[in-house]
Copies of this chain bind each other. A is one copy, B any other.
Amino acid sequence: MSGGLPGLDRVVIRDVGPRDGLQPEAPVSVEDRIRLIEALVVAGLTRIEVAAFVSPKAVPAMAGAADVVAGLTRAEGVTYTALVPNLRGAELALAAEVDELTVTISASATYNRRNVKMSIDESVDAIGSITTLAGPAAVPVDAVISCCFGSPYEGEISPTDVVDLARRLEQVGVTSLTYADTTGMATPRLVVDLIDLLPGGVGWMDTGLHLHDTRGTGLVNAYAALQHGVARFDTAVGGLGGSPFAHGAGGNLATEGLVALLDDLSVPTGVDLTLLLDATDLLATLVDRPLPSPLAHHGPRTRIAGRGQE
């Protein structure tokens, strides 16, 4: 295929903007977070990380998680996901009847300790207790492994160690695995190296990538992954995001950037770029800083006489 992609039937995009995107920002009200989520649904997103059931003291921007979930008008065919840091969070998220849980663990021991105050072993055990809780409710648990392509603390992270951790997470019952480039240290080479090591390839544990654009490499890393068959990505509307625990981390790969790339390659995502940019416009009114996403400023290449061309 022109552009170098294999025959991908469809790419699934999970928009983590209402959670990962807004988490480091000044708090946005429950009502406005609901408006943003519903704008994403209108744009065609079918999997959205809508909340984090974390301590509002630790992460003020995520306060009111249960209220966000309760306030949503659930659309058919949409998976509403919540991040849970521990068993208590999982109980609350399941009580709120979310459709999917995300749990995080780091391939970097130091990052893991700073982020969740546990060793990697303790985090694996904690995730096991969450999958045990979620199993009877038939709620899938996606484990997001942070710092898969490098750590601001240890530097290089061995892809073999990442895959070893992934196998342990499979054993404790997670449903799928998402490999995160938390601080924007991935490169096309490292992405391909990791994919090549996955037992059974990208089909194993429904491989997803969660990319950050700290060093301007989010899209090229996604492209390399797409060329190797990865068909599931975490992105954030407007390109917001970045962990407060990783100095120098920039935003998530912008949803609109990935959608524009895939539209141009004729790979379906179900997302309407024009409607997505409406959601981006809404987001720009909710946060008190310019959005990092270049498309939010310049508009898509197909919009000749419109946005950014005035």
Contact = CB atoms under 8 A, between A and B. Distances in A.
Interface of A: 2-4, 150-155, 184-185, 187-190, 192-193, 196, 213-217, 219-220, 222-224, 227, 247-248, 250, 254, 257, 260-261, 264-265, 293-295, 297-302, 304, 308-310
A216 B308 CA distance: 14
Nearest to A191: B3
Contact of A189 (B220, B264, B294): B264
B3 A192 contact: yes
A108 to B, nearest CB: 11
A293 B213 CA distance: 12
Contacts of A4: 4, 188, 192, 224, 227
B265 A215 contact: no
Contact of A248 (B185, B215, B309): B309
A298 B250 contact: yes
16 contacts: A2-B189, A185-B301, A187-B264, A190-B264, A214-B298, A215-B260, A215-B295, A215-B300, A216-B216, A216-B257, A216-B293, A217-B257, A220-B222, A223-B223, A248-B297, A250-B298
A291 B196 CA distance: 36
B192 A2 contact: yes
Nearest to A254: B216
Nearest to A239: B216
B294 A214 contact: yes
Given A187-B264, A223-B223, A247-B308, 13 more contacts: A3-B187, A152-B309, A153-B304, A187-B265, A188-B223, A188-B265, A214-B298, A215-B295, A215-B300, A216-B254, A216-B257, A217-B257, A248-B309
A301 B216 CA distance: 11
Given A223-B224, A224-B223, A295 B185 contact: no
A283 to B, nearest CB: 17
Contact of A250 (B152, B190, B250, B294): B294
Contact of A295 (B216, B220, B247): B216
A4 B214 CA distance: 22
Top 9 A-B residue pairs of the complex, sorted by shortest distance between their CB atoms: A248-B308, A216-B294, A3-B189, A185-B301, A187-B264, A220-B220, A3-B188, A219-B220, A155-B304
A76 B185 CA distance: 36
